[in-house]
Amino acid sequence: MGLIHNVKLKRILRSGWNGTCPECGKASMFNGWLKLADRCPNCGLDYKFAHADDGPAFFALCITAFPLTFIAVWLEVEFDPPWWVHALVSVPILAVGCLGSLRPFKGWLVASQYLNDAVQAGTESSWAKLDSHDHDAR
Ligand SMILES: [Zn+2]
């Protein structure tokens, strides 16, 4: 028995962590490191609904960067090292931690948007118009 009993939350966490399609869970939702694919190559899910915007950067800053910054501060306070120790330890830890967590955060946001039918409040008609223009152009 797992710790998480909510089926939708399990799907969101699994899809985001693995970067896989929130519908079928088979193919990658990404076409590159952070760029979403246009469609799922397995089930054809159109990723047009996904608007993660700067959400992944916000979560990487709040959840990843702040704790890692405390490590750098602790290193400074505890050992008072020369500046190059921070260049060799603190900067790479922050860079790898933040850049590495962007993809799962984006995956979780996209999967969450899909499984919760999320749109920005009051913009449903605008998105419908934009989507209809996209269909007209094809
Ligand atoms: Zn799929």
Q: How big is the CA angle at 43 (ends 30 and 124), to the nearest 5 degrees?
A: 75
Structural domain contains residue 119: yes
Q: Total structural domains in the chain? A: 1
Q: Are 22 and 114 in contact (CB under 8 A)?
A: yes
d(CA 42, ligand 1 centre) in Å:
5
Q: Compute the distance between CA of residue 74 and CA of residue 103 in angstroms, rounded to an integer.
A: 27
d(CA 81, ligand 1 centre) in Å:
49
pLDDT for position 52:
83
Rounded to two decimals, the pTM is: 0.79
Examine the pLDDT at 76 and tell me if it is beyond 70: yes
Structural domain contains residue 134: no
Structural domain contains residue 36: yes
d(CA 50, ligand 1 centre) in Å:
14
pLDDT for position 120:
66
Model pLDDT for residues 24-39, shown as the tens digit of each residue = 999 999 999 999 999 9
Structural domain contains residue 89: yes
Q: Are 62 and 46 in contact (CB under 8 A)?
A: no
Residue 13: domain span: 7-125
Structural domain contains residue 136: no
Instruction: Look at 69-78, 83-92, 124-133 and tell me which has the smallest mean pLDDT.
Output: 124-133
Structural domain contains residue 132: no
